[in-house]
Amino acid sequence: MKRRAFLERMGTIPVLGAASSWASAKGQTNKQAGQPRAALERGRYHPGRIPNEYNLFLPGEREALAKSPRICETGMGWVICQGGKRLQVGESVDGWRLLIILPALNGEVTAVFEKHVTHQGAIAYVTTKGEVAHIPKHIGELSSIRPRPINTPDGVRFERPSPYVPGPDVCGDYILNSAEDPCYENVAALGPEMVGWTLVGNEEGGAEKSLWLEADGTSRQMNPDPQLAWAPDHIGRLFDPSQFLPAIFRGYSFYPSHFTYESGYSKRTLLGGYAPAADIGVWNPKAKAGYEVIMVMLPGADSRPLARVRAVLPPHAPEDLVINDNDAGNSRIEQGQVERYWNGSAEDFFTALAGVWNKWHHFFEDRMKVEIPDEWLLDAARAGIVLSRCSYQGLDPTYQIGEGAYTKIPVRSHALFPVAHYEFVWAHQLWNLTEEVEPYFEHYLDHYVLPDGNFLYNTQDQVEAPLNVGVFLEDSARAYDYSQDIGALRKRLPTLRRMTDYVLRRYRYTKDNFPADDPRHGLIWGSAEADNGDPRDDYPESHVYYYENASWIWRGLKEHARSLQRAGAEHQDAELSREGAAIAQLAAEMRTDVERSLKKTLADRNPEMKKANIPPVFAFDTNRKPTDLTSYENHRYITDWWLSDWGDAEIDEGHFKHRTLAGLQMLGMNVVRDYPITAGFMEHGTLAGRIRQEDYRPFLLTLYGNMCYAMDSGNRYAPEDSLIPGNYPGEGNPYAWSAVVNSELQPALGLRWLLCYEEHDHDIVHLQKAAPRHWFSTGERIRVGKCPTRFGLLTWSTESLPTGQPSRWRINIELGEFKGATLAVHIHPADGPPLKSASVGELRADQVILTPEVLAGKTSIVLEVS
């Protein structure tokens, strides 16, 4: 089935919701706190806010969790803490409960402690030499779990209209016109959250061996026991936490008959915020009881999952209850809770947990260390990369995260989606993981590019857009820029040459068959989207001539040429230099052809398009109403245009204006068809266009809108297409709610561009270009270590100094071998006024420009700004 063919039948799917704030587009009054919406003065009001309970600490709690116990002696089931207090397993000190003593973790006797505060928790591994691992948890006191609140004091509320009437982005405008920058606290406050599944997996098992957990911790996968056919009520799911909850209290049955999952009272997270281990908390406010499920997957292709269930008993349960359970013998209740383990012992579980955390913690911290005021955003960026890696089958590509509608055995269909793989490579590169992703890149080029240079896709039931060749060429250029690995470049060159020849044949066809005054002259023939491509109908006249195909091929050739010339110069390889020069000349010729085509098509537009300044999507796109914008144009074609960075700001802005006039945008996100569906798998195109604009706030709106409504805010479950707001797995067509690589990786690309954005066609690197104003408040800090750019690695920190008025910041930049580019250091004062002074560089209203001349000869620089 084609990826979004279900949209053609969406009219048959019942959609929840009622009339919403979009009614204002129909001329109705939208009341806000009893006043017409127009009464809110731009920049003078504050939207409703909710706390981000995924990383919220109350006063003193962060410090309490950071200070784990220290031990000086261990024994059989006991430890002696510094200060002399003796603890047995199950006892606590300063709120830290001793869970287990591992006799030989990495050769050391290790005590495992756990502590919870209101919304957070931590597990600490401690030896007599000190703490060896500290695992953050985003599950705290279970009684704090609740549905995500909604706070809309001005009456602007994000609801799902049925049917969707195209109109203004009321919620987006409400945030952008306020006195605050977009953030989780004000964007998430507008409407209901997505409730998704939580992945448990590893890198070796791929989608088939992973598990999806429901909101209550129950696995989606069924028990493979052969008795299941005749006893499904007894065997059921592979994992069901209710089977590990206390069942009998001295004859009083409480679990599970009196405990039911209340919708919304689930906090679904990944351990540490991004590791592929589920950490789910469930609370029943009526029973005043709940439980936590932590599940990890052992390494290996034929691994097994291990789980721990921690049940918190109701306040009236006696402390001396004994739990009689046939599966586990007798267990005693300690401190109002009971713990059970599934598929292994407590020792097995905590040993595996330490291994999973250490692997992924060091995977990121050793390559690119990032500290920002919004830890939730950082966790999302890392989680996307982790969940994607855990869905690959070895080095073989995937599109689906975990098992689902797009998982095919044998591997086929969208597992080979080129868009997923190029973004997988791209995200790794931006996070200084080029070396780690290179084997995946090489494997794809070696196995999934056909002899003629086309992509093997859906086993040739479909063909993807030729523009993807351009993206892969840029991935290759970025790989060399960030690693200088000449061996890897030379190894992939034969395949890249085949891919280049494939698109150049299509380019030369239009040069040979259309005169220079024909807009098709110099463009690239072919589909611009896989769902519209068919290998049996892949001819020059099968499709209109899309500008994003031409734009991306030009961009890929330009970057490829630059990298070949750079590699040739750095390694004294004259042949590489000559090849790069020839491709650069070809790219320049192509640029001239496309500019000529665009100029003619722009001139031929009808008066309505010219008045609205709506640019064309394809050649001969000259006669449409400005409000007409098709689904694929909105969520794929113009997003690919923005992603390619043609370099014409007016055309970029025209496409954004077209989306707005067509009324196909919500909270900055694309909207599809007659129902409010956002195709999150291509939102990185919107982000790429927004990050280049002078105003950074629409970029933040799209980023946070996507993260708050197109993915689960805790476990990062992100489907290809989301009904917004309040989507959940199982709603609508299964192809819509299948979590996919592209959607998962939006925060990874977005956060990197927010922190460090390299201009394509100018030697300029922007630091903190889209960092929100509250990140520059007194006491806040931004720190990025070993961030790769094509000019070298950068490490910097920005600290807001506690000096009163005016505000002051100190930026420490470690340049290392960084050279050849201008640094634009952006600062957005929380109180709004422009910057007044800088100790070095050229001062502008919201940034300081450090030219190569200023940076020359320096390995570090300290910049003070007020």
Could you tell me which residues come within 8 angstroms of residue 24 by beta carbon, excluding any fewer than 6 positions away? Answer: 30, 37, 167, 168, 170
Residue 841: how many CB atoms within 10 A of its CB? 20
| E-strand stretches of 222-285 | 248-249, 252-253, 266-270, 278-284
Query: 464-514, pLDDT tens digit by residue?
Result: 999 999 999 999 999 999 999 999 999 999 999 999 999 999 999 999 999
The two structure tokens encoding residue 720: 């290809």
The two structure tokens encoding residue 280: 């789910």
Per the model's pLDDT, the better-predicted residue between 641 and 252 turns out to be 641
* pLDDT above 90: residue 542: yes
**Cβ-count burial 2-41 (b if 16+ within 10 Å, e if not):** bbbebbeebeeeebebeebbbbbbeeeebebeeeebeebe
* pLDDT above 80: residue 736: no
pLDDT number for residue 258: 56
Average predicted confidence (pLDDT) for the chain: 90
pLDDT number for residue 484: 96
Query: 318-377, pLDDT tens digit by residue?
Result: 555 545 444 443 455 667 788 999 999 999 999 999 999 999 999 999 999 999 999 999
The two structure tokens encoding residue 637: 């074609």
Per the model's pLDDT, the better-predicted residue between 280 and 205 turns out to be 280
pTM: 0.94
The two structure tokens encoding residue 816: 């290392």
For the chain, the farthest-separated pair of C-alpha atoms sits apart, in whole angstroms, at: 90
Query: 405-459, pLDDT tens digit by residue?
Result: 777 655 666 788 999 999 999 999 999 999 999 999 999 999 999 999 999 887 7
pLDDT number for residue 333: 61
In contact, 40 and 177? CB cutoff 8 Å: yes
pLDDT number for residue 378: 98
Q: How far apart are CA 565 and CA 569, in angstroms?
A: 6
| Domains assigned to the chain | 61-137 (no CATH), 764-865 (2.60.420)
* pLDDT above 60: residue 18: no
* pLDDT above 80: residue 224: no
In contact, 747 and 767? CB cutoff 8 Å: no
In this structure, the chain runs to a length of 866
Considering 94-108, 643-657, 726-740, 791-805, the range whose residues carry the highest mean pLDDT is 643-657
Quick one: angle between helices 746-755 and 697-709, nearest 10?
Answer: 150
Q: How far apart are CA 28 and CA 813, in angstroms?
A: 53
Q: How far apart are CA 143 and CA 265, in angstroms?
A: 9
In contact, 838 and 826? CB cutoff 8 Å: no
**What secondary structure does DSSP assign to 367-387, as a single string?**
T-EEE-S-HHHHHHHHHHHHH
